[in-house]
Amino acid sequence: ISKKLTQDLSEQGVEFITKHRKKMKPANHTSFQKWFLSKRAIVEAVIGQLKEICQIEHSRHRKTDHFFINLLAGLAAYVLKPRKPACSLKALPTTFLIPN
């Protein structure tokens, strides 16, 4: 990730967190950030289900109304699904909730 992108995101109040990869400087993540990085598979599973099952995808809508209707219909279909991936916050120790 470029430094410019990281700076632009931080100016907007968004913190960009990634795992350490080759040719990267090691970042000192807090335990809270490490916990979120470990839940990436669940986030990707939800996004995958929204794309595949609920048919939310990037398409060329001619009107913004059609885009929002497609998005809301897909989110409603996801909410009505009986089985969804879950992330239990009960397993998260309270020390993680306190930022360092």
Per-residue pLDDT reduced to its tens digit, 39-86: 888 888 887 877 777 776 666 778 888 888 888 888 888 788 887 766
Calculate the alpha carbon distances from 81 to 46, 50, 55, 57, 88 in Å. 12, 11, 13, 18, 18
Provide the pLDDT for residue 97.
54
Cβ contact 45:25 at 8 Å: no
* pLDDT level of residue 23 (50, 70, 90 thresholds): confident
Calculate the alpha carbon distances from 24 to 4, 13, 34, 61, 68 in Å. 15, 23, 17, 39, 39
* pLDDT level of residue 38 (50, 70, 90 thresholds): confident
